[in-house]
Structure 1
Amino acid sequence: RARAMQKAFKEAGVSVDWVFSGRPRESYFDMETFGDFRCFKGLSFSINAGQIDPIKTVTEASFKLLLKDVGTLDLRGYDLIISDFEPVVAWAAKVKKVPCIGLGHQYAFFHDIPKVKNALASYAIMKWFAPVNFAIGLHWHNFGQQILPPIIEQNLSPKQATSKKALVYLPFEDTQDVIETLNSLPFDFILHSKDFAPGTYNNVQVKGFSVTGFHESLSLCDSVICNAGFELASECLSLGKKLLIKPLKGQIEQTSNALAIEQLQYGYVTQEIDAKSICLFLTTAKSTQVSYPNVSRLIAQWILEYPDKPFSDLVEKSWADVVVQSDLIEDNNVTPVRVA
């Protein structure tokens, strides 16, 4: 989202300073487009073997440092703050009474969308994690709500892919276990990982992290196996890739994303990364392609008129030309479906 919004803001003549949090500065890559960006520790989840470790998450959280960063972040001279569910900037804006817009998938959960039940405490925490004056939620479908389609980099385009390879991106799983599972299957895979040496491991080609490298791998494969995050699934849908997602256990956003994918019939869901599930997916899966507009450009144009231009105008314009073409959705084998 940040890369797409940076391009849109630049085209609109808007000057933006960027702040990132959640991981060390050296863990970011291909960041030239953001100039002299700033980094904070912020807050993040601790993950162990494909699920959230709640005890480690709390013990490793530095609330004292968070309060210090919120207090020292200088917001003087800014007309508007935009937070993609980032707590340091959002809380600094709230404390210092600077207008702040929330822009991200998590803000869609403030609306009536597919959600995991019996998780009221988690949704309450989500509401206070990065508080804003006005929230813009993003999702794959509008569900009759005032939310927007996904923000997708416009340089992505469907290229001729080979069905003989599948892209695997499972950063929250144990990479060694994943490779051993893939080695037991009669298919070829490209796996992107930051904690495993690049190279060829039988039928698995392991690559490191880079924006261009990942997009190149994505263009080569017609199937994608990943966790249930929002960004990659959005790219897969826009490119018409067959999609198998495995939600991160204990993470409400991902489990709700899996629920939405199932309800929309936009892809397939598995609770475990095992040979049987992957084999069934690669031999039987059908694809869905959703054509989304240049949402980042529409948002940038709307922000130039904020708060005078009604948000409903942006919502209506964003969904007007969204079209779903699917071999997966029942009774939709020929005619494209326009999202109302």
Structure 2
Amino acid sequence: MKVLYGVQATGNGHITRARVMAPALKQAGVDVDYLFSGRPADELFDMELFGDYQTRRGLTFYMGEGAKVKSWDTLTRNSLSTLIRDIKSLDVQSYDLILSDFEPVTAWAAKLRGKKSIGIAHQYAFMHKLPDGWRSLMLRLGVQIFAPVTIPVGVHWDHFNRTIVPPLISPPQYSRTVDEGLVLVYLPFETDETLIDWFASFTDYRFHVYSKRSFAHSINNVHFKPLSRAGFEQDLAACSGVFSNCGFGLASETMQYGKKFLTKPMQGQSEQRSNAILLDRLQLATVMDDFQPRDFQHWLEQPQPEPQLFQDVAGGLAKWIAGDCSEPASDVVRSIWGLSTGVPA
């Protein structure tokens, strides 16, 4: 079984899923080539796991201050001509299957050439009706246009009686401790000045802020750190809570380590708004649309939740893929969740 695995690299959550799937696919005997798009190649880091991977420009969102999508820049700075050229030039004929984590070049190349394609991503959960009001319905068409696949398998915190598997994340790499004074922050679209202003009065706490920067520095109780997978997870294991936008991957890792989660969804990002609604509905996080010191203090004083243990999703999916996906996806989903009934196709 030879597979081309396309990964949307705009956000770290997609790459995190690929990091979990890669060893499982290898153990299942699947020969995999990787393609990443949506981020310049020189901005990818810790990629040794994927061997001699390919990159393409793909599509991405452009963000402004305050974690708001810049619609005009997103529309004008993405190159449709480059995307179309990359899709047409990608050779997929030598592959038995195309696997897409919401990656448009591989997904469209498979569709245009009639290749079987499997979509495994959080976004494919929106192909089903979710209890998030109208947002999953609004997102559905966008998912179909952005990265269409033959068989979509969603990833979410609940199956909602649909073809949706639990979060695809690595087991904890560090022992869980709780430093009540340490707060982990990942708000990459807020300015340093904004974060300093927010946190300066909370002098009983230390805020470890990760973002794209070349060196670490501190201003009073706010400690700015360059992106590092190992350093970030060490702080995640030790902190009392996480303050972040509403990306699916980090929220899932926070649950796994049993840390309280405060989320400020990106403005104009319907996927993050859906995530926020469902986190609130499932009582898994506190949602804050605008920073309010009193609400933030209340969150800091909340107790820690229990760690959540997620099933071996990658192993089950890898075996299914190695078998050319001959088993119905709904049966695989039931098996992963440990269900005897439910989960329609």
Give the structure-1-normalised TM-score.
Answer: 0.90
Q: Which residue of 2 aligns with 1:92?
A: 109
- In the TM superposition, residue 163 of structure 1 has moved relative to its aligned partner by 1.4
1:210-251 deviations in whole A, cap 9, x for unaligned?
A: 211211111111200110000000111111111111111111
In 2: Cα distance, 1:38 partner to 1:210 partner: 22
In 1: Cα distance, 2:330 partner to 2:174 partner: 29
SS at match of 2:297: helix
1:248-272 deviations in whole A, cap 9, x for unaligned?
A: 1111110000000000001110002
- In the TM superposition, residue 196 of structure 1 has moved relative to its aligned partner by 7.2
In 1: Cα distance, 2:24 partner to 2:292 partner: 40
- In the TM superposition, residue 113 of structure 1 has moved relative to its aligned partner by 1.2
Root-mean-square deviation (CA), in Å?
1.8
Provide structure 1 residue ranges, at least 5 long, that are not aligned to the other structure. Answer: 322-340
In 2: Cα distance, 1:293 partner to 1:181 partner: 37
Contact 1:166 1:221 in 2 (8 A): yes
The one-letter amino acid of 2:29's match is G
Q: Which residue of 2 aligns with 1:266?
A: 284
Of residues 160, 164, 173, the one that matches 1:143 is 160
1:125-171 deviations in whole A, cap 9, x for unaligned?
A: 22211000000000001112221001011243551121110100111
Of residues 135, 141, 145, the one that matches 1:124 is 141
In 1: Cα distance, 2:174 partner to 2:337 partner: 20
1:249 equivalent in alignment to 2:264: no
The within-5 A match list for 1:149-298 is 149-156=166-173, 158-186=175-203, 187-195=205-213, 197-298=215-316
In 1: Cα distance, 2:77 partner to 2:310 partner: 39
Change (3 A) 1:120 1:303: closer
- In the TM superposition, residue 291 of structure 1 has moved relative to its aligned partner by 1.5
- In the TM superposition, residue 285 of structure 1 has moved relative to its aligned partner by 4.8
The one-letter amino acid of 1:17's match is D
1:44 equivalent in alignment to 2:27: no
SS at match of 2:290: coil
Q: Segments of 4+ in structure 1 off by > 6 A?
A: none
In 2: Cα distance, 1:118 partner to 1:241 partner: 27
More deviation, 169-178/200-209: 169-178
Give the structure-2-normalised TM-score.
Answer: 0.88
1:291-323 deviations in whole A, cap 9, x for unaligned?
A: 2112111110111123321222211121129xx
Of residues 45, 50, 64, the one that matches 1:34 is 50
In 2: Cα distance, 1:73 partner to 1:210 partner: 32
In 2: Cα distance, 1:119 partner to 1:300 partner: 27
More deviation, 99-108/272-281: 272-281
The one-letter amino acid of 1:84's match is D
Q: Which residue of 2 aligns with 1:335?
A: none
- In the TM superposition, residue 65 of structure 1 has moved relative to its aligned partner by 0.3
Contact 2:129 2:136 in 1 (8 A): no
- In the TM superposition, residue 274 of structure 1 has moved relative to its aligned partner by 4.1
Provide structure 2 residue ranges, at least 5 long, that are not aligned to the other structure. Answer: 1-16, 340-345
1:10 equivalent in alignment to 2:26: yes
Contact 1:137 1:147 in 2 (8 A): yes
Contact 1:266 1:288 in 2 (8 A): no
In 2: Cα distance, 1:113 partner to 1:121 partner: 11
The one-letter amino acid of 1:33's match is L
Of residues 46, 66, 70, the one that matches 1:53 is 70
SS at match of 2:114: coil
**Larger relative contact order (CA 8 Å, sep ≥ 6):** 2
Contact 1:157 1:239 in 2 (8 A): no
Contact 1:225 1:244 in 2 (8 A): yes
